[in-house]
Amino acid sequence: MNSKKLFWELTLKLETFTHTVPVPFAVYYAIITQKMETEKWMIFVGLCLFFATGIGILGTLWRYFMIRRLFRKIDKIKFPDDSSNIQYTFQDQDYAKKVKLYIFKYPLIEATFIVFRWFAGVIPIVTLYTYLVEYTPSVVRSGIFTIAMIPPISFVTYYFITENSLRRLFDLPQIRNIEIKPNEIPKFDYFKRIVLAFFSLAALPVSVLSYLLYSIVKGETMVEEPLIPIVIVSCIFIVPLIVCSYIVAVTVKQGISETSKSLNELAKGNFNVVVTPTSGDDFGQQAFYLNNIIQKLKGMYEEIKTLNEGLEEKVTARTEELNSTLQEVRKLKYQQDGDYFLTYLLLNPLTIKEIKSDLIHVDFLLKQKKNFEFKDKEYEIGGDLNVSHSIHLQNKKYLLFVNADAMGKSMQGAGGALVFGAVFQSIVQRTKNNSSFQAISPELWLRNSFQEMHRIFEAFDGTMLISLVMGLIEEETGLLYFINAEHPWPVLYRDGKASFIKSEVSYQKLGTLGAEAFSQVKIFQLLNGDVIIAGSDGKDDILHAGGPDEKDWEVNLDENFILRIIEQGKADLNRIFELIGRKGEVIDDLSLIRIGYSNEIRKINKVSSEAKLKFRKAKKLYSKGNFSESIDVLLDLIESEPNANERLQKDLSKLYYQIGNFKKAMEHMEIYLISHPEDDDFLYFASKLFKKTNQLPRAIELAEKIRIRSPKKVNYLVHLFHLYLKTGDRSQALEVLKDLELLQYPKEDLTILSDYLK
């Protein structure tokens, strides 16, 4: 295709349409709607012929130069050629793209120019006629109605005809391979096209008939029978309707044909087919989508073809490679399981249950999350640890227990448990073998042991943390001493009901940097038949079905869950583990310690009515200040009523203190504390008694014991302050003073105590 051929094709189609549809419309319309003299008619017709001819010639010349200019641009496009020394630059590529986009835009240019031609013809005709002849309203109205009805149909027809004629340009070798993006071409989809065509077709008869009826009513028409021009206008209207419908149908057919042709080639297996977009309509957009699909199918086809070539050899090679990798994995797995097994061998001896007691029964349950197999045997490792020992402190037998949980999973947790177990076992053996460590109170032993382990784990800079509950139970009395370091609270099972034994203070994990200083040991009196269960958070970390339909999995957040389980399982560890498993999946290491206390001697026996009368008598004598007589009554009561012995020892000690017989007071004090070591108020009295007899080390020992149990009792702290002051230990006295300041002790009293230090 060359410029001349395209020029004559476009000119023939466009000008033929213009002079067979719009011009006859305009001429006939002007004839029947004007009523003027012959001379004026001649001038009006002459102006119409002059401008119609001139504008037609001007439009033809304009089209000639525009098409010629277009082909000159096409001829300037360079071809990318690897064999040539001429480089194909980005500027060349950009120029070629602009030319191709110009071809897309040219139909709009042609359609816009025909609208301009009508305006350039009608407006001068009306203006010159008014200037040369006279102002005639019918002429002005006919000009306005002509512009309203002719340009729309001309715009639509010119656009479609030009677009169809330019389609072949996209097959030119200079244009075909130029890549453009879908968003770069001007879009004019079929919805807009059909709507515009409909309104342009409707504007033609509506405008003519409306003005014709108006002219008939005003008496400005040249016809006597109005029905005749109406029929003629209707017949003329059929021509643009047929032409416009034909052009739209041809355009749609061409788009469908191009798409069908490409799909047919694709169905034959030709993946080299390229769909060229030739318009800005929906088919032009589909061309881009089809090209993307074809390229993807081509890539998939090439990939499948490549895979099928030598598939058997590739499968064999891949199988050998996988077998080799599998052997390496098995080797590494065996080495890893060996490391796990070594850790298991080191960790297993640290789970110790070394007790000898007729009063306390201990059971362990330990289920670590990490399971592994080594030499056809299954093992498990994790960060949980259960330990129990029998130790002696101050000539009393205690059960020592600890339930610990090291931070981290599998090896990390096992490493923490290994370090903790080794350190804790060292402390226990040191206590068993060294009498000086057995001479301290259970409160001090727990505090010192906790602080020592905390300092060791601090050396790991927070990478190894341990939560735990650690306690001592005095066998004879059943008094429980324990501390909790960010661990689940121990549970008391008494008379078929489970409840938490909580403390005012819960310390941070062992090894936590910047953790608060140790301050309190919790005590709790066990009764005959009581059961204590301590466990890690694995007993609470249960994954179970939840949500409205119980289809979502969620982690248990109910802290009372374990209480109900213990009650249902009647504090039996195996039964508890079974019930937990029924509720959901355990997602962490699980460890439990069960401690059952049984001491029939600790039952409180009733006293006789006579003994109660004697006790009231002694109390009345005491209130009157007759301390000696009150003592005699109580001593007689001890001989006659053995069941009242324990309580009376306390009263006798205080009475002897009142009369100044400190030796006797200490004898009865020692007897009472053997059976009632939990009585903090009496410990305070005992400390004051030792101070009175100038036994300051014993007084300080008891005062420190109370301080550990009840760190917020200011009267205990003031007493301890004076003890340290009396021994000359000013640094310890200052520490006690700081504790009082933290407890907001009155400033006036603090000032007085501070003056003692000065």
Q: Mean pLDDT by 10-residue block, N- to C-terminus, for the chain (758 residues)?
A: 84 80 66 69 82 86 89 81 63 83 87 89 87 82 79 84 83 78 77 78 72 67 60 66 73 75 75 71 72 77 73 76 78 75 82 88 90 83 91 92 87 87 92 90 90 90 90 92 91 94 80 76 91 89 70 78 92 92 86 90 60 75 80 78 70 85 87 82 89 89 86 87 88 88 85 83
Are 9 and 188 contacting, i.e. CB atoms less than 8 angstroms apart? no
Distance CA 589, CA 205 (A): 89
Distance CA 501, CA 491 (A): 6
For the chain, the residue count is 758
Residue 465: predicted pLDDT: 92
DSSP annotation string for 304-329: HHHHHTTHHHHHHHHHHHHHHHHHHH
Q: Which residues contact 653 (CB under 8 A, 6 or more apart)?
A: 665, 666, 667, 668, 669, 672, 685, 689
Residue 593: predicted pLDDT: 95
Distance CA 324, CA 327 (A): 5
Residue 398: predicted pLDDT: 94
Are 458 and 419 contacting, i.e. CB atoms less than 8 angstroms apart? no
Residue 228: predicted pLDDT: 64
Distance CA 578, CA 572 (A): 10
- Compute the 3-state secondary structure of the chain and give helix, strand, coil in percent, each to the nearest 5: 65, 15, 25
Distance CA 118, CA 503 (A): 99
Are 504 and 455 contacting, i.e. CB atoms less than 8 angstroms apart? no
**Residue from 490, 375, 383, 395 nearest 441 by CA:** 395
Distance CA 512, CA 184 (A): 63
Residue 113 buriedness (CB in 10 A; 0-12 / 13-18 / 19+): middle
The dihedral over CA atoms of 375, 378, 382, 385, expressed in degrees to the nearest 10, equals -110
User: What domains are defined for the chain?
Assistant: 3-237 (no CATH), 352-602 (3.60.40.10), 617-757 (1.25.40.10)
Are 714 and 743 contacting, i.e. CB atoms less than 8 angstroms apart? yes
Helix, strand, or coil here: 194? Answer: helix
Distance CA 202, CA 196 (A): 10
End-to-end CA distance of the chain: 116
Tokens of 463: 């990478």
Residue 504: predicted pLDDT: 72
Place of tokens 């099972």: 493
Report the DSSP beta bridge partners of residue 354.
389
